[in-house]
């Protein structure tokens, strides 16, 4: 099956009426994606293994050691695009088809990490973090989705036994080289293909503002303790602090209790996503945002609790791997990214890792309009094939 | 059954774990409230009639003309209190028990208007507005709840035929006097019982901000069209404009699409509730809010559509009725309110109407902590009994 055929096959899974994707971990759409993965592996005579954390590995030959592994993830953000994640898996299978199997000297695998986006349980890169031992299994299994379902319950509902979830050194130690191909998510890449140098440090913080519920038509302004005001000011402060500090800060998710048109809110919860080129900048900007939020909340008679949901330190892809890949590919552009990836988690865990980016003409990502030209995707497959061939043959 | 017995009987219906009430129109909880109403009427030998718009009327004697009618509503805002609405119905039944039936010269009825809060379909006082002919039946029946269910479908699901929904002059013309007893919703009343003079003009406006969805970690701030920023600034502008203009303005409900932590929102919808002592002030303040919102949205590269969901003109309760009630009750305090009521809709439709308020010691309303002292509630019942006796005997 060609790249285009695989792509067309996966395209309808979890697609909403507006064209956006809803492929959350351990939902029916995720299970359909996994079926698609299994079928692709079977078609190539690859054996599929599900590891203790729910990541899928399709093996060409017997598993490890010193294996060459490529892949990405199949899940999406709410209303996400088609490319973020799946492009790396489809390209991996296409590269397997393109290389000369008879010349293989090392085991080769395609991996699909589970719950990279963290859209359902709030923590990104769950599959790779658990395997690398940087996410605590007990705390992670107790994470709840918006319906109150825990990760453990969600796994069990899909037939995955959560009792083995946790660090998986055996799975990671067999990797001799990991390459993740991913659509670029800004407009930083002008060539069809580039190499990732680093991932900005980033994190997610939950801001819980709590005031006093009341009637919107009878409560004097001076008597109010309205958490919506504190939230609104924090949204604007985050943007301003990020701009002044050379960082990124976004509130893209908010929950209001009770959420009635004629009721002053009791509580407003907003989620801050922030990233910066280095950890000192990120720490400074997020501290400033929290301080401004706390000051405003105090003026509004509102309490504020800030909870760190996840943080990812700065990750630089190993220089030796990067220079090797650049040599194989004829020195394509190099670029850092603000987006987190399983490749970053693996690199931080000491796995030799490289990232390939495919050009994004509009820079749109995490949205239905996310897009890459087919010619650029095929250039990505060709680059990935060259890397796998150079490493494994 | 005593006031306390009726109150205890109704208390568990539609109560959430946090103590707040969720009694939306045409839901199971609303149906349970209606069953409670029917049982109370049956216990008193009153015949219950459901009018074409779903309002319930319990009649002592044959229906109208020149009837004395009292009542309120049973539905709630999301997470509302126990008193807003039900206090008027329970007090009405208690007053029926307290008066001398043998002396009645006029028909007497207790009415429960449907969907006063507008919590499910976005428009308040639906039952009385439809009856008075100020809500268009076709447009109203097509209103959708957040799940996409129309009012017509919701009615049909509970066995109410929506094809007769619309103006109901017969139901209203038989009312010679309407008295609504309601818990006060601010801290304006220092005596146990007071008389309403007027309802502030008020309205609800939906603000739809639409930008461009994108990745929170890779999209440069300058490349963003983030509707959350425009929304946040509008929340703060609304508060400031209301303060400067002597009005009230509240955003208590917001919806974000797609609502992902690591995604810049595509669209943010916020609902503005605004009220003022007079219509000119309300018009000026809401125009200023809209102008500031539009200016900010333009700077953010965001489109803004403002839709008026409902407006209620200023209502003064008729002076003759007010003076008569004040005479019967020994001149209790008089006060206006910022909250809308079915009594206001009826007064605007020319029905002789009076409103009794029961003291609210904390001023909290539309929240679980909403509260009135039992002694004050019983003073309310006594006042209502005197008004009904003076009018009907």
Residue-wise pLDDT for B14-37, tens only, equals 999 989 999 999 999 999 999 999
C-beta atoms of A124 and B262 within 8 A: yes
- Residue A15 is classified by DSSP as B
Ramachandran sector of residue A43 (left: φ over 0; alpha: ψ -120 to 50; beta: rest): alpha
Which of A338, A365, A392 has its CA nearest to residue A92?
Answer: A392
C-beta atoms of A265 and B259 within 8 A: no
Please, are residues B177 and B390 in contact by the beta-carbon 8 Å criterion?
no
A231 to chain B: which residues are within 8 Å by CB? 232, 235
C-beta atoms of A218 and B253 within 8 A: no
Nearest to B253 among A223, A259, A273 (CB): A259
Mean pLDDT in order along chain A per 10 residues (393 residues): 94 94 97 98 97 97 92 95 97 97 96 96 94 95 95 98 96 96 94 96 96 92 96 98 97 95 95 96 98 98 96 92 97 94 95 97 91 97 98 95
In 10 A of CB B289, how many CB atoms? 27
Torsion of CA A358, A360, A361, A364, to 10 degrees: 170
A85 to chain B: which residues are within 8 Å by CB? none
The pLDDT confidence band at residue B311, using thresholds 50, 70 and 90, is confident
| Residue A242 contacts B, CB cutoff 8 Å | yes
Please, are residues A181 and A89 in contact by the beta-carbon 8 Å criterion?
no
Average pLDDT of chain B, as a whole number: 96
In sequence order, which ranges of chain B are alpha helices (DSSP H)? Answer: 3-10, 28-43, 86-98, 126-132, 137-141, 151-157, 169-173, 227-245, 279-300, 319-329, 342-348, 374-392
C-beta atoms of B185 and A218 within 8 A: yes
Residues 6+ apart with CB under 8 A from B139: none
pLDDT per residue as tens digits for the range B286-296: 999 999 999 99
The pLDDT confidence band at residue B210, using thresholds 50, 70 and 90, is very high
Find residue A80's DSSP bridge partners. Answer: A21
Please, are residues A3 and A91 in contact by the beta-carbon 8 Å criterion?
yes
- Residue A161 is classified by DSSP as -
Nearest chain B residue (CA) to A274: B217
Establish whether this prediction's ipTM goes over 0.90: no
Calpha distance A37→B178 (Å, rounded): 68
Nearest to A214 among B204, B254, B366 (CB): B366
B215 to chain A: which residues are within 8 Å by CB? 84, 185-186, 338-339, 364-367
Residues 6+ apart with CB under 8 A from A142: A150, A151, A152
CATH architecture group of domain A202-312: 2-Layer Sandwich (3.30)
| Residue B91 contacts A, CB cutoff 8 Å | no
Domain range list for chain B? 3-200+314-392, 202-312
pLDDT per residue as tens digits for the range B4-14: 999 999 999 99
Please, are residues A348 and A134 in contact by the beta-carbon 8 Å criterion?
yes
- The encoded tokens of residue A372 equal 């890459």
Distance from CA of A370 to the nearest CA of B (A): 8
pLDDT for the residue B310: 85
Distances in whole angstroms, Cα of residue A290 to Cα of each of A16, A249, A273, A287, B306? 36, 12, 13, 5, 32
C-beta atoms of B338 and A217 within 8 A: yes
Please, are residues B75 and B33 in contact by the beta-carbon 8 Å criterion?
yes
- The encoded tokens of residue A209 equal 């503002």
- The encoded tokens of residue A362 equal 């509009």
Torsion of CA A92, A94, A95, A101, to 10 degrees: 110
- Residue A46 is classified by DSSP as P
pLDDT for the residue B61: 87
Q: What is the value of pTM for the model shown? A: 0.82
Q: Please state the rounded mean pLDDT for residues B206-217.
A: 95
Chain A interface disruption, residue of B123, B198, B260, most A CBs within 10 A: B260
C-beta atoms of B226 and A250 within 8 A: yes
Element (H, E) at A158: none
Q: CATH assignment of B3-200+314-392?
A: 3.40.630.10
Calpha distance A374→A377 (Å, rounded): 5
pLDDT for the residue A122: 87
Distances in whole angstroms, Cα of residue A106 to Cα of each of A37, A44, A160, A380? 22, 17, 30, 22
pLDDT per residue as tens digits for the range B41-77: 999 999 999 999 999 999 998 997 999 999 999 999 9
pLDDT per residue as tens digits for the range B222-252: 999 999 999 999 999 999 999 999 999 999 9
C-beta atoms of B260 and A79 within 8 A: yes
| Residue A369 contacts B, CB cutoff 8 Å | yes
- Residue A183 is classified by DSSP as E
Distance from CA of B43 to the nearest CA of A (A): 34
pLDDT for the residue A64: 79
């Amino acid at each position: 099956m060609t790249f285009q055929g695989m792509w067309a096959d996966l395209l309808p899974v979890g697609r909403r009426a507006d064209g956006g994707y809803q492929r959350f971990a351990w939902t029916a759409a995720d299970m359909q994606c996994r079926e698609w993965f299994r079928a692709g592996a079977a078609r190539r005579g690859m054996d599929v293994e599900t590891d203790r954390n729910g990541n899928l590995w399709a093996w060409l030959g017997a598993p490890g050691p010193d294996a060459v592994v490529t892949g990405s993830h199949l899940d999406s953000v709410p209303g996400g695009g088609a490319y973020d994640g799946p492009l790396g898996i489809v390209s991996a299978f296409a590269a397997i088809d393109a290389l000369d199997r008879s010349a293989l000297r090392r085991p080769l695998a395609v991996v699909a990490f589970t719950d990279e986006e963290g859209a359902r349980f709030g923590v990104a890169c769950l599959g790779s973090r658990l395997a690398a031992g940087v996410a605590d299994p007990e705390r992670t299994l107790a994470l709840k989705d918006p319906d109150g379902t825990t990760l453990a319950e969600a796994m069990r509902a899909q037939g995955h036994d959560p009792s083995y979830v946790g660090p998986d050194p055996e799975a990671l130690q067999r990797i001799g080289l990991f390459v993740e191909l991913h659509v670029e998510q800004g407009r930083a890449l002008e060539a069809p293909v580039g190499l990732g140098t680093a991932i900005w440090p980033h994190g997610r913080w939950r801001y819980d503002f709590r005031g006093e519920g009341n009637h919107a038509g009878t409560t004097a302004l001076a008597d109010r303790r309205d958490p919506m005001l504190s939230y609104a000011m924090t949204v604007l402060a985050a943007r301003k602090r990020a701009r002044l500090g050379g960082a990124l800060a976004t509130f893209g998710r908010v929950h209001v209790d009770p959420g009635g048109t004629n009721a002053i809110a009791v509580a407003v919860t907003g989620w801050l996503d922030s990233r910066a080129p280095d950890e000192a900048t990120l720490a400074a900007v997020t501290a400033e945002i929290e301080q401004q939020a706390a000051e405003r909340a105090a003026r509004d008679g509102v309490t504020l609790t800030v909870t760190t949901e996840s943080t990812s330190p700065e990750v630089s892809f190993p220089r030796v791997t990067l220079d090797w890949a650049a040599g194989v590919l004829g020195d394509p552009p190099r670029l850092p990214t603000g987006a987190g990836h399983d490749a970053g988690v693996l690199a931080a865990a000491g796995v030799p890792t490289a990232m390939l980016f495919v050009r994004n003409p509009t820079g749109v990502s995490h949205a239905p309009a996310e897009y890459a030209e087919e010619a650029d995707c095929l250039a990505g497959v060709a680059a990935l094939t060259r890397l796998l061939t150079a490493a494994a043959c």
